[in-house]
């Protein structure tokens, strides 16, 4: 009868003396230790603050330790606005597979641009990469998102040769062709 503390308990277990100290969150209904993995962790925290103030303080202290930055007022507000997505995204970047994706997107009636994402999963500086593409293809190129570069021109096919040539750590097989983006 040991494994219970480590997994999700499925209701009363025979031979176990109750109460076991498993507290469930009223927002996400998970044991409160798991709240931080829930996308709406901020709402969980609000619920905890209202219903289990002592646990709220404990969880909050743990969270601050993990962050290392202590969470200031402004920073905290920003995170709440994004609904906790920032946390999930950061984890994904560390654990997820390294992959670059390229696709073609229409711009205007006849023109296309090329969208490159995923370079930062290889720890590549996007500004440097964008400048490199601009020079290489003699066209506009700019960083347009968290991990996105848009090159002004249809250069998707060339990228499969040029990216591994410039960054040998990126294998041609790690570049995924997403094809044409629909308008």
Which of 37/171 has CB closer to Zn ion? 37
Beta carbon of residue 41, minimum distance to Zn ion (angstroms, whole number): 7
Stretch that binds Zn ion, among 15-23, 29-37, 66-74, 146-154 (CB under 5 A): 29-37
Buried b (16+ CB within 10 A) or exposed e, 61-74: eebeeeeeeeeeee
Cis amide bond preceding 19, omega within 30 = yes
Beta carbon of residue 84, minimum distance to Zn ion (angstroms, whole number): 11
Give strand pairing partners of 151. Answer: 114, 141
Q: Does 119 participate in binding Zn ion (rule CB under 5 A)?
A: no
Q: In this structure, what DSSP letter does residue 175 have? A: E
CA 25 to chain centre: 24
* Count of chain residues binding Zn ion (CB under 5 A): 5
CA angle 153, 154, 158 (to 5 degrees): 115
Position among 44, 116, 150, 175 found at the interface with Zn ion (CB under 5 A): 44
Position among 8, 11, 19, 25 found at the interface with Zn ion (CB under 5 A): 25
Q: Does 87 participate in binding Zn ion (rule CB under 5 A)?
A: no
Chain residues binding Zn ion by CB under 5 A are 25, 27-28, 35, 44
């Amino acid at each position: 009868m040991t494994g219970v503390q480590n997994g999700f308990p499925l209701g009363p277990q025979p031979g176990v003396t109750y109460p076991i100290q498993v507290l469930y969150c009223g927002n996400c209904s998970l044991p409160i230790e798991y709240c931080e993995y829930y996308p709406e962790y901020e709402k969980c925290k609000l619920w905890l603050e209202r219903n289990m103030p002592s646990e709220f303080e404990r969880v909050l202290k743990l969270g601050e330790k993990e962050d290392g930055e202590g969470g200031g007022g402004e920073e905290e507000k920003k995170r709440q606005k994004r609904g906790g997505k920032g946390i999930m995204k950061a984890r994904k970047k560390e654990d997820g597979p390294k992959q670059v994706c390229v696709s073609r997107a229409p711009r205007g009636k006849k023109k296309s641009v090329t969208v490159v994402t995923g370079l930062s999963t290889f720890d590549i500086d996007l500004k440097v990469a964008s400048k490199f593409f601009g020079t290489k293809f003699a066209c506009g190129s700019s960083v347009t998102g968290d991990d996105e570069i848009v090159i002004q021109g249809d250069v998707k096919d060339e990228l499969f040769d040029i990216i591994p040539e410039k960054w040998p750590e990126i294998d041609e097989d790690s570049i995924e062709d997403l094809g044409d983006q629909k308008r």
